[in-house]
Amino acid sequence: MEQTILLQISEQYGCPTYVYDGNKIEAQFAKLSNAFSGVKQLKINYAVKALSNISILKLLKKKGSGLDTVSIQEVLLGLEAGFEPSEIMYTPNGVSMEEIEEAARLGVHINIDNLSILEQFGAKHPNTPVCIRINPHVMAGGNSNISVGHIDSKFGISIHQTPHILRIIENTKMHVNGIHMHTGSDILDIEVFLYASEILFETAKQFKNLDFIDFGSGFKVPYKAGDLETDIDELGEKLTVRFNAFCEEYGKDLTLVFEPGKFLVSEAGYFLTKVNVVKQTTSTVFAQIDSGFNHLIRPMLYNSYHHIINLSNSSGKERFYSVVGYICETDTFANNRKIAEIKEGDILCFKNAGAYCFSMASNYNSRYKPAEVLVYNNETHLIRKRETFKDILHNQKIVEV
């Protein structure tokens, strides 16, 4: 997105503000669809957790996306955005049977990832089609916190427990119409992805009534110029061949499902912040901004990289800065990073701020959550107001004891 537009937005809406490029989201959706155009039936279910603003969900709906949700609240958001229940996959982990019953009542597609719930659900709802999340025991993903398909992970039902799954299906006569895996985020090596897919195909053979196979997500996006990323076209070429061959072997045209978050929205996001203080110490120059890990936790949570540009002086001489927040604990966004010379009042822009940024924001230190702005076809729309003190007090019951 052009820097002048971002600067205008920072003037119009203030800082801190998240900005999303709707056309980039569309382009990513088209890129993934095109890479798998050789598959007869493809379904892309956007992972709501990445960025759950309802206007973003509506934009993706217009493109033909479905949704991947992990909580009943995300399901409700999807329904509110106009998705049909049949377009929503619900993939919870460790939630109560009551929540799963509620999802069943709402009519969304349930993806079950443990034997206990599978047995209970199958006994009660033998005619409701469900998907099963398999754990393929593959170590994949950019960081241990986002690698979820390995043997010690809490996610999915182990492939070694497939006989138990089959016994439950036999006993309850339940209807399993999909099989799913998600091994982790930031998977660079498509061979790892293909390897896990082979395990999924092997497992899928044992289920007789499948309509789809869901390969989850985990595509790595670039975080700076020249950075490595998952080669979607190569993955598309290779997986399409294998998927089509599997369908032939299975004797049915199944739907290939993906549930990308980062791939669709990460690069579309920009986080605009203002520099409150430039603080020179004996060892470091800190640029302290009007935000913290309350608004963007990824660097502190899993050491993620966000490229930072000084929009107010983008062609200035570069110097080293540690960019930090205003939180009462260490909240470092970047250590000794080369950035064009920073003055107090400058606007710093964080890139790759679309996925897992606003959706992980909190009110820690009783700060307001930022505003969100969508830019689409050269028009700017405020899609979430900045919070006010009223929001901080909302739901609090003041009791004098």
Ligand X SMILES: Cc1ncc(COP(=O)(O)O)c(C=O)c1O
One character per residue 198-237, x = contact with ligand X (rule: CB under 6 A): ------------------xxxx------------------
3-state secondary structure 280-314: ECCCCEEEEECCCCCCCCHHHHHCCCCCEEEHHHC
Number of chain residues interacting with ligand X (CB under 6 A): 16
Closest CA to 355 of 34, 142, 56: 56
Interface positions, 372-391, toward ligand X (CB under 6 A): none
Of 24, 61, 109, 182, the one binding ligand X (CB under 6 A) is 182
| Per CB under 6 A, 47 contacts ligand X | yes
Is residue 256 within 8 Å of 43, Cβ to Cβ? yes
Is residue 337 within 8 Å of 320, Cβ to Cβ? yes
Query: What is residue 360's three-state secondary structure?
Result: helix
| Per CB under 6 A, 65 contacts ligand X | no
d(CA 50, CA 261): 5
For 140, the token pair is 């994949």
148/165 with CB nearer ligand X: 148
Q: How far is the CB of 352 from ligand X (least distance, A)?
A: 12
Query: Any binding-site annotation on 302?
Result: yes
13/219 with CB nearer ligand X: 219
306/367 with CB nearer ligand X: 306
Query: What are the residues whose beta carbons fall under 8 Å from the beta carbon of 327, sequence distance 6 or more?
Result: 292, 293, 294, 364, 365
Within 10 angstroms of residue 30's Cβ, the number of other Cβ atoms is 11
Interface positions, 343-362, toward ligand X (CB under 6 A): 355
Q: How far is the CB of 17 from ligand X (least distance, A)?
A: 22
Q: How far is the CB of 219 from ligand X (least distance, A)?
A: 6
213/289 with CB nearer ligand X: 213
Active site residue 328: yes
Query: Any binding-site annotation on 122?
Result: no
Beta bridge partners of 111: 131
Of 260, 269, 325, 354, the one binding ligand X (CB under 6 A) is 260
Start-end of H helices in 107-161: 115-124
Is residue 213 within 8 Å of 243, Cβ to Cβ? yes
| Per CB under 6 A, 68 contacts ligand X | yes
For 397, the token pair is 């019951």
Of 32, 35, 39, 50, the one binding ligand X (CB under 6 A) is 50
Query: What are the residues whose beta carbons fall under 8 Å from the beta carbon of 249, sequence distance 6 or more?
Result: 205
49/367 with CB nearer ligand X: 49
| Per CB under 6 A, 60 contacts ligand X | no
For 231, the token pair is 């080669």
| Per CB under 6 A, 181 contacts ligand X | no
Helix axes 97-106, 72-80, angle to 10 degrees: 20
Q: How far is the CB of 88 from ligand X (least distance, A)?
A: 13
Query: Any binding-site annotation on 368?
Result: no
| Per CB under 6 A, 147 contacts ligand X | no
Query: Any binding-site annotation on 356?
Result: yes
d(CA 158, CA 173): 21
Q: Which stretch binds ligand X (CB under 6 A): 19-27, 197-205, 260-268, 303-311?
A: 260-268
CA distances from 324 to 174, 273, 284, 299, 321 (A): 53, 11, 11, 11, 9
Catalytic residue among 15, 131, 247, 328: 328
| Per CB under 6 A, 114 contacts ligand X | no
d(CA 370, CA 383): 11
| Per CB under 6 A, 153 contacts ligand X | no
Which helix (DSSP H) or strand (DSSP E) does residue 124 occupy?
Answer: helix 115-124
Q: DSSP assignment, residue 386?
A: P
Of 22, 236, 261, 269, the one binding ligand X (CB under 6 A) is 261
| Per CB under 6 A, 298 contacts ligand X | no
Phi-psi map region of 251: left, alpha, beta (phi>0 left; psi -120 to 50 alpha): left
- Which residues fall in the annotated binding site for substrate? 298, 302, 329, 356
- Which residues fall in the annotated binding site? 218, 298, 302, 329, 356
Where on the chain is the footprint of ligand X (CB under 6 A)? 47, 50, 68, 91, 182, 185, 216-219, 259-263, 355
- Which residues fall in the annotated binding site for pyridoxal 5'-phosphate? 218, 356
Q: Which residues are catalytic?
A: 328
